[in-house]
Structure 1
């Protein structure tokens, strides 16, 4: 199409695009320079095409001139993208594979005669293919983003699934709350109605007896009043006495009324106290986001076991195969029981939480921030501490107590210097006997962790009973006595712990 347009805009004399085209009376147009040269040798001033004479003065063909100028400008724009050799000004037609650069024919002759050379178009096709291959991952990533299959999209979907699961569990738990409160309300209203009926029946029974007694008396008096004459007068005193009504003394006291304190006194507290026996408290709650895919976590987050099927987690688990507790402890005394049941392979303890533990597997050792008790084959145990070693116990552990506490130095106490160190202990929860204990860093957040290593043998966090006591306001002297007893008990406990450490 471009070539046909250029033919239409070309002078039939010079075969080039019109330069200052002039229009003859016959309708043909020619370059001004071409007509001047033609008329110089042809005095008759005839048209080079049709031979008709043109005696008039030449007229510029403005429309054709504008069209030619526009065409030349567009053609110049298209040719501007063509790169030419900076040294020879020729078109780059070849590609030197040795020097990895585009060259012209003259460069080929002078500097690249011994190099490997290929046509420029072929080199462009090869490199475009390489770019397409390199671009393919980006295209796939773009497609994954649009389709929602990237890791970020999977995390978003997983968060939504967690929200739905948490909302379902919250509603289920509150349904239990509502059911309990509804049943408790019904039971207390029923109890109130039973007491009301019992006491109303008792009062009504007395009323019925009074009605019967008075009815009989009124009837007897009325019958005797039917007598006339001397008989009535003879019996007048006794009839009058029976006719006179004296209200009997009430035999009912305050116990005949509804016992209001029994039904509404401290009602909320008593219901809450009863509720604690139904809704259990667990000192440790597991964080499922720290567990690998093949760990199965219960809905209440207090039981973990190995599963035969992986959970769908959006982030690959690359760290230690452990599940952490949701809360770390930096101070205070903390204790929790773990039911190991029939499991023969497990590891429980505390650790320091760090970013590295999620990206690489670290040996379980105090140097890496892990203190634990391991069980192998159900009868061999290993204590991960500064002086770790294997040992055996006379009986198989069923429930292990993990305890973070403080040990006070008696020598320092005798000098009125407060000194203590943080300790981690493992005990047999059934009889309270000590299995092993060691010192741990103070002021560092230590998180409980569990490792179930045997299928069909999960590890359970045991619930604890929370005693509800009402503190009495004691006089100063009684408070002083109470605190003195506490201090004596503290010294005795510290002495016992010190003796155990020396024996170790």
Structure 2
């Protein structure tokens, strides 16, 4: 700036009425200076002839003469200010679409630097100078530039909205706080703004966490599908190898096996794709909500943030994915049941397959402990008398696959399998899937059967000494194996399990030992 402006401050060259550099400056008797046109207009519109600054009243309107010295100094200052403003304007950015522009600029609108909540005007760097230098304008509240400054005023009282009513969740002015909201919890607008902004930060973190969980769930589902594909490939390869050796006699069985495996795999794939699509849709919604939250949280517009906070806090259209799983289908027994139909001509092949099948299910072996306190010695099925023990395992199963074996050699009759939780009762225990138990029985006449509706009577080539029980909870499969013969005895398929399953054993008749003193560890493993 010029040397003159370095000697004097800018405030000394500004008219306190128009807030601009003096034009034809005049001094009135109290010593204050004003533009000649400004003080003349002020007195013309006022009932009193007084100084706008010190309020000194004059009985008669003073004569006004231009102070040539101050006029020359002001002219020099104005010229210097124009040069500085021109240089500053070239450095400032022109307002772009979507940006807040200066309300004072004429012609080319520059980008606003601040908005004044007292003047309700947005200023560029040049026009903001008075607010930064004049002592009485420094008291005005400046914020980052915002549009629609009129919305910051109370429509009822035409006062600045500087408070927030927590009861009614709305912005209010000082007069509102002592009238309509006098009994409400009212806090400064900035305090509520900071609180809500902190909540938005937490909301953003929660959304990001939800997105991450769903991405991990997608990876988990993809891994399950990959495992399912490997199992399907392995099962199909084994099946094809078996049926290729049987040539034309087993072509129909081969096709049926492949169809069954592929159908299960398609169902698994379809289920997985449905989950992935649903998760991706939720991620899309969450990312959209995240963008909205981020946009609002960046805003320095107190009012806009508070008015839009409800929309971003609305419940997200998501569901809890914690319990969602894609369970690879079980193929245990698929090849076995297909080849069993050709048992007369394929006995040797069947024996090899049964051995492989048994080894496969035995990998799910679990240690089972029977607890005589869980049930009691009461009749089972149609047998009466106090000669049958009915005992449950201490551990239950509600998912996955498990296998256990039972030694039945010493009992002429028995019942074993898996059941829903039983309670102590003096009534008969009715067997069958409809009653919540899937069992295999040997009655007193040496007959083997699977209780169902109707019961399935079984013809075994030899009496099994050890019976293996395999359960696939998700597949709804319960299979019984003769361990020593490596053969499948019977399978319950397409079961619908909805409750916990307990390994169950009931040997008959009682050999005289007490139920609580009997060594059950030698029976079930």
TM-score by length of 1: 0.35
Structure number with higher relative contact order (C-alpha < 8 Å, ≥ 6 residues apart):
1
Which structure's CA Rg is the greater one? 1
TM-score by length of 2: 0.34
